[in-house]
Amino acid sequence: MDTTFFLLVIKITIYFLAFCIVLGLIEPWRALWWAERQNRLLVLKYYGIPLVLLIIVLLMVD
Protein backbone atom coordinates (compact mmCIF):
# COMPACT_ATOMS: atom_id res chain seq x y z
CA MET A 1 0.00 0.00 0.00
CA ASP A 2 1.22 3.45 -0.82
CA THR A 3 2.44 5.46 2.15
CA THR A 4 0.84 8.70 0.98
CA PHE A 5 -2.57 7.02 0.79
CA PHE A 6 -2.09 5.66 4.31
CA LEU A 7 -1.18 9.13 5.61
CA LEU A 8 -4.17 10.65 3.83
CA VAL A 9 -6.56 8.17 5.42
CA ILE A 10 -5.04 8.78 8.86
CA LYS A 11 -5.33 12.57 8.46
CA ILE A 12 -8.94 12.41 7.26
CA THR A 13 -9.81 10.17 10.21
CA ILE A 14 -8.10 12.58 12.61
CA TYR A 15 -10.12 15.50 11.20
CA PHE A 16 -13.33 13.49 11.48
CA LEU A 17 -12.64 12.53 15.09
CA ALA A 18 -11.74 16.11 16.00
CA PHE A 19 -14.99 17.32 14.41
CA CYS A 20 -16.97 14.71 16.36
CA ILE A 21 -15.33 15.77 19.62
CA VAL A 22 -16.18 19.43 19.05
CA LEU A 23 -19.72 18.54 18.04
CA GLY A 24 -20.08 16.14 20.96
CA LEU A 25 -18.85 18.64 23.53
CA ILE A 26 -21.50 21.09 22.36
CA GLU A 27 -24.35 18.60 21.90
CA PRO A 28 -23.41 15.10 23.06
CA TRP A 29 -26.53 13.44 21.65
CA ARG A 30 -25.46 14.32 18.09
CA ALA A 31 -22.15 12.48 18.39
CA LEU A 32 -23.48 9.56 20.45
CA TRP A 33 -26.86 9.00 18.81
CA TRP A 34 -26.57 5.22 19.19
CA ALA A 35 -25.65 5.20 22.88
CA GLU A 36 -28.17 4.89 25.66
CA ARG A 37 -26.41 7.58 27.69
CA GLN A 38 -25.05 10.65 25.96
CA ASN A 39 -22.67 12.80 27.98
CA ARG A 40 -19.45 14.68 27.34
CA LEU A 41 -17.27 12.15 29.13
CA LEU A 42 -18.42 9.40 26.79
CA VAL A 43 -17.72 11.65 23.80
CA LEU A 44 -14.14 12.05 25.00
CA LYS A 45 -13.90 8.32 25.63
CA TYR A 46 -15.23 7.18 22.24
CA TYR A 47 -13.60 9.85 20.09
CA GLY A 48 -10.72 11.19 22.19
CA ILE A 49 -8.80 7.97 22.76
CA PRO A 50 -8.74 7.00 19.05
CA LEU A 51 -7.80 10.59 18.19
CA VAL A 52 -4.79 10.54 20.51
CA LEU A 53 -3.71 7.11 19.25
CA LEU A 54 -3.97 8.16 15.60
CA ILE A 55 -1.99 11.34 16.27
CA ILE A 56 0.74 9.22 17.85
CA VAL A 57 0.71 6.86 14.84
CA LEU A 58 0.87 9.82 12.47
CA LEU A 59 3.83 11.30 14.32
CA MET A 60 5.63 7.95 14.31
CA VAL A 61 5.06 7.32 10.59
CA ASP A 62 5.63 10.84 9.34
pLDDT tens-digit readout, 33-58: 999 999 999 999 999 999 999 999 99
Q: pLDDT grade, residue 62 (50/70/90)?
A: confident
**Average pLDDT along the chain:** 94
Spatial neighbors of 55 by CB under 8 A, at least 6 apart, are 14
- Nearest alpha carbon to residue 14 among 46, 42, 50: 50
- pTM comes to 0.88
Domain boundaries, the chain: 3-61
Q: pLDDT grade, residue 2 (50/70/90)?
A: confident
